[in-house]
Amino acid sequence: MAKTALIIEDDGNIAELLRLYLEKDGFEVSIAADGGTGVQMALEQEPSLILLDIMLPVLDGWQVCAKVREKSKTPIIMLTAKGETHDKINGLEMGADDYIVKPFEVKELLARVHAVLRRSEGEETGGEKRLSFDKLIINLDSYELIVDGNRVDTPPKEMELLYHLAASPNRVYTRNQLLDEVWGFDYFGDSRTVDVHIKRLREKLEGVSDQWTLKTVWGVGYKFELNESK
């Protein structure tokens, strides 16, 4: 199957440059110049990958990402001139798979594209990915989190992080291990990304059950702890 990419970017020069890079790399490329058109094209075309600018007319990149994530797991890489940590975290919390700051090197861009696609393809070809605990179901096949009988909207990367921890109960993971194993060894972010995702997960899970907990191991990292006495 041909690789397809959707570029959502209102700067025509940047969009055409990205098209050139991706077509040389074997992608079939479409371009949307505003966020509203981008959402429509993303849902109609179901591309292999979306490159998404943040500063867009009609809908900004964060809004586009949120709307696409309501119906699609298509990998999204956000492209922006905004390099502050809170902007990166905001994009990742909205469900983006990666984040690259303009101006960027072609090799770095393509490396991130291939890394995101490898992770996405790995998720699609794996076996059943469903874990059950007291008042908690983590279904990575459907990307559904059921907490105390209720479906809780959860961004894809939070789901993947929780599944990864819960798949090996009581094992302690360092932040760097989680970056390597959940985000990918070639992810260019920092350990604060893990902390933010853990914080958001705790807000969803706090006090639900006394049989398990998402625990911080100070000075080391995190684990999904089962209470064996319960």
- Per-residue model confidence (pLDDT) at position 18: 93
User: Do 97 and 134 have their domain in common?
Assistant: no
Last residue of a domain, one of 81, 98, 125: 125
Residues 134 and 102 in one domain: no
Tell me: do 7 and 121 sit in the same domain.
yes
Give me the chain's average pLDDT, please.
85
Percent of the chain surpassing pLDDT 70: 86
- Please report the pLDDT score of residue 198 as a whole number: 94
Q: Which of 227, 203, 18, 209 is nearest to 106 (CA)?
A: 18
Same domain, 154 and 121: no
Residue type (1 letter), 140: L
172-186 pLDDT tens trace: 999 888 888 887 755
Are 103 and 33 in the same domain?
yes
Strand (E) or helix (H) holding 99: strand 98-101
Residues 6+ apart with CB under 8 A from 4: 27, 28, 29, 30, 45, 47, 48, 49
Do 20 and 119 fall within a single domain? yes
Picking from 71, 95, 125, the residue at the C-terminal end of a domain is 125
Q: Are residues 141 and 86 in the same domain?
A: no
Rounded Cα distance, 116 and 128, in Å: 21
**CB neighbours of 73 closer than 8 A, spacing ≥ 6?**
120, 143, 156
pLDDT at 94 over 80: no
Specify whether 100 is located in the same domain as 64: yes
CA distance 126 to 32: 32
Sign, CA dihedral 204-210-216-218, equals positive
State the total domains in the chain: 2
CATH of the domain at 141: 1.10.10.10
Lookup: tokens for 161: 């992080």
Percent residues over pLDDT 90 in the chain? 47
0.75 cut: is pTM over it?
no
Q: Please choose, from the candidates 202, 197, 212, 124, the residue with its C-alpha nearest in 3D space to the C-alpha of residue 167.
A: 212
- Regarding whether 97 and 162 lie in a shared domain, the answer is no
pLDDT of 49 above 90: yes
Mean pLDDT of the 153-163 span: 89
Considering 91, 125, 159, which residue would you say is the last residue of a domain?
125
Bridge partners for 80 per DSSP? 101
**Same domain membership, residue 201 and residue 167:** yes
Residues 16-21 have a mean pLDDT of 93
> Quick one: average pLDDT of 132-140?
91
Same domain, 35 and 100: yes
- 38 in the same domain as 111: yes
SS (H, E, C) 110-159: HHHHHHHHHHHHHHHHCCCCEEEECCEEEECCCCEEEECCEEECCCHHHH
Quick one: pLDDT band at residue 203, thresholds 50, 70, 90?
Answer: very high
Domain extent for 74: 3-125
Q: What secondary structure does DSSP assign to 76-97, as a single string?
A: EEEEES---HHHHHHHHHTT-S
